[in-house]
Amino acid sequence: MANPPFLFLFLLLNLAAAARRAGADGSDPCAGRRIHIRHLPPRFNTDLLRHCGADAFPLTDPSAAATSAPPCESLANHGLGPRTHPRSRSWYRTDPRLLEPFFHRRILERGCLADDPARADAVFVPYYAALDALPYVLDPALLDASARHGAELAAFLARDQPRILSRRHGHDHFLVVSGSAWDYAQPPDTEPRLWGTTSLLRLPELANVTFLTVESRIWPWQEHAIPHPTSFHPATLPHLRAWLARARRSRRATLMLFTGGVSRPSRPNIRGSILAECANRTDACAVVDCSGGKCSHDPGRYMRAMLGAKFCLEPPGDTPTRRSTFDAIIAGCVPVFFEDLAARRQYGWHLPPARFDEFSVHIPKESVVFGGVGIAETLEAVPEAEVRRMRKRVLEMAPRVLYRRHGSAAELREAGKDAVDLAVDGVLRRIRRRTRAQEEGRPESIYTMEDDSLEM
Ligand SMILES: *[C@@H]1O[C@H](CO)[C@@H](O)[C@H](O)[C@H]1NC(C)=O
Ligand SMILES: *[C@@H]1O[C@H](CO)[C@@H](O)[C@H](O)[C@H]1NC(C)=O
């Protein structure tokens, strides 16, 4: 009975019962904010927690380092993972692919839940999509079937109490996918099927459902980006404040830091330029080698370095965004972006696009790779007072992008909204706008993307 998936299921069921009781009062503060959680058979969520550990997919090519199942230890603490060490209070070995069970847990404890879907303003589908994708991306025998990822869920939603989905044509449904939207958007008719990606976002039956992903595509009418999870999950206000004070006071002797893969790319690109410049400017630049997944479950490896750096370089990798952006924000290390898709055009619900210049630096990647612009030189030119101002703003943003621990103290919950709270606010705004457009017979405005401007 020490088996994590079972323990997890047990806790979830208990919690669901508690949440139903709590949401039953139905008073004013919940107006416009009621969420119904779809009851799904366990094969769509808790059963999928068995997709962990090295022996879950024995046929996986072991030489492909990035492709493996999350370690089973990562299931601890509802997907936050084990604590980094026994005395750690806020730091966990979080595997970002387990955001789905964690988000589910947070929705369950949220309050303003509606048992009756007809009274709900939005419907949350607790499907563990990235975990369900693992067989298609890790089992060679299933590669050719990867266009079917999610088809069973779509069939279930259409068949089980069909009115819930059809009432608003699915526009009021949302779910979380702990991955990049690009990885779930392979055209279903691609031949041969591409490794590592599925076609979940291309399922016509789910076309109107909002997907919360850690990275969105260029025209994200279907999805919206939410922060990559970091390893910092405080549960009380003093823990949060103690960390922010430490980050504020930290002595920062390094001008700029790059954490990531250190193999030089064969073609000129921004990552290559950064590595070349850092090799030359050891006085100004530090590099933390995170290749081969060395950093994934070991925040100590890079957080200390981030606390000691003024600027953190956040170049695109295989895709435009990276978890390291959020590690940097939490460390008070001012992020340096090389394209708008890295964050500004992604996380509008959490990081106000109009204020990016107050807490980050933008250096267009073309100017570095082809224009001879030096990154260190550019950053050295920022006056110290301005660096301090930016750091203050970054640390003001930190509580908005971190994922507070489940079951946090009321005092912390009331002090401000975290990544989950803001994601839920955002998705409720988007759904409200879409349902209104539907009710008022303006279907053309359903897919406009104006919901990023947030009053702050
Ligand atoms: C998606 O929404 C549009 C507009 O409301 C509707 O016509 C269409 O049938 C919906 N599609 C699905 C699969 O529900
Ligand atoms: C590194 O330094 C050498 C010698 O100063 C210089 O010729 C070279 O252009 C520098 N490379 C980069 C990438 O800055």
- Give CA 153 to chain center in angstroms: 22
pLDDT at 40 over 60: yes
Contacts 24+ apart (CB under 8 A), 60-67: 60/138, 60/139, 61/140, 65/292, 65/293, 66/293, 67/137, 67/138, 67/195, 67/196
What the block records as the tokens of 305 is 């370095």
Q: Kindly give the distance from the C-alpha atom of residue 265 to the centroid of ligand 2, in angstroms, as a whole number.
A: 18
| Residue of 16 and 377 predicted with greater confidence | 377
293 vs 22: which has the higher pLDDT: 293
**pLDDT at residue 22 greater than cutoff 70:** no
Separation CA 353–CA 343 (nearest Å):
9
Q: Which of 264, 280, 370 to mutate to test the pocket of ligand 2 (most atoms within 8 A of CB)?
A: 280
Give 191-227 pLDDT, tens digit per residue: 888 888 999 999 999 999 999 999 999 888 899 999 9
User: Average pLDDT for residues 271-282, to the nearest whole number?
Assistant: 96
DSSP character string of 368-398:
HHTT---HHHHHHTS-HHHHHHHHHHHHHHH
56 half-sphere exposure, CB direction, 13 A CA radius: 21
pLDDT at 275 over 50: yes
Instruction: pLDDT band for 444, please (50, 70, 90 cuts).
Output: confident
pLDDT the model gives residue 318: 86
Give SS3 for 252. coil
pLDDT higher than 60, residue 437: yes
Which ligand is nearest to the Cα of residue 444, counting in written order? 1
Q: Examine the pLDDT at 9 and tell me if it is beyond 70.
A: no
Minimum mean pLDDT among 11-25, 99-113, 161-175: which range? 11-25
Q: Which of the ligands is closest to the CA of residue 274?
A: 2
Average pLDDT over residues 319-343: 97
Task: Give the pLDDT of residue 74.
Answer: 95
Residue at 364: amino acid letter: P
Give the per-residue pLDDT at 59: 73
Give burial (CB, 10 Å; 0-12/13-18/19+) of 116: exposed
pLDDT band at 450 (very low <50, low <70, confident <90, very high): low
**Alpha-carbon gap, residue 212 to 224, rounded angstroms:** 5
Distance of CA 243 to the CA centre of its chain: 21
Q: What is the pLDDT, as a whole number, of residue 18? A: 47
How high is the pLDDT of residue 2? Answer: 42
Cα–Cα dist 439/442, whole Å: 8
Task: Tokens 């978890």: give the residue.
Answer: 323
pLDDT at 36 over 80: yes
pLDDT of residue 398: 98
- How far, in Å, CA of 386 to CA of 399, rounded? 22
Amino acid at 396: E
What is the pLDDT confidence band of residue 55, given thresholds at 50, 70 and 90?
Answer: confident
Residue 110 pLDDT exceeds 80: yes
The predicted-structure confidence for 402-413, as pLDDT tens digits, reads as follows 999 999 999 999
Atom of ligand 1 nearest to the CA of 206: 13
Q: Can you give the pLDDT at residue 26? A: 47
Rounded distance, CA 74 to CA 82, Å?
A: 6
Cβ contacts of 101-104, under 8 Å, gap ≥ 24? 101/8, 101/45, 101/46, 101/49, 101/75, 101/128, 102/78, 102/229, 102/403, 102/406, 103/176, 103/212, 103/420, 103/423, 104/12, 104/45, 104/128, 104/176
20-24, 135-139, 146-150: which has the highest mean pLDDT? 146-150
| CA of 166, closest atom in ligand 1 | 14
Cα of 121 to ligand 1 centre, how many Å? 18
E-state strands within 252-366: 254-260, 285-289, 309-314, 334-337, 361-362
Q: Give the number of the ligand closest to the Cα of residue 272.
A: 2
Mean pLDDT lowest among 235-249, 259-273, 304-318:
259-273
Residue given tokens 């970002």 in the structure block: 96
User: 62: pLDDT confidence band, cut at 50, 70 and 90?
Assistant: low
Q: Dihedral of CA 360/365/366/370: which sign?
A: positive
Residue 273 has pLDDT above 50, yes or no: yes
Taking CB atoms and a 6 Å cutoff, what residues make up the pocket around ligand 1? 169-170, 204-205, 207-208, 438, 443
Question: Structure tokens of 342?
Answer: 């890295």
Here the tokens at position 376 are 């260190």
Rounded CA gap, 312 and 331, in Å?
A: 10
Evaluate if residue 331 carries a pLDDT over 90.
Answer: yes
Please give the average per-residue pLDDT across 226-253, as a whole number: 98
Are 273 and 264 a contacting pair, CB within 8 Å?
Answer: no
- Could you check whether the bond before residue 192 is cis, i.e. omega within 30 degrees of 0? yes
Shortest-distance ligand to the CA of residue 446? 1
pLDDT of residue 68: 84
Measured distance CA(250)–CA(242) in Å, rounded? 12
What's the rounded mean pLDDT across residues 91-103?
A: 97
Residue whose Cα lies nearest atom 7 of ligand 2: it is 280
Ligand 2 center–CA 280 separation, angstroms: 6
Element (H, E) at 35: strand 35-37
Closest atom, ligand 1, to C-alpha of 168: 5
Six-digit token string for 325? 């952006």
- Pair 102, 403: CB distance under 8 Å: yes
Per-residue confidence at 27, pLDDT binned at 50, 70, 90?
low
pLDDT at 456 over 50: no
Using the predicted structure, report yes or no on whether residue 23 has a pLDDT greater than 50.
Answer: no
Least confident of 10-14, 32-36, 176-180, 387-391: 10-14
Average pLDDT taken over every residue of the chain: 91
Cβ atoms within 10 A of the Cβ of 71, count? 16
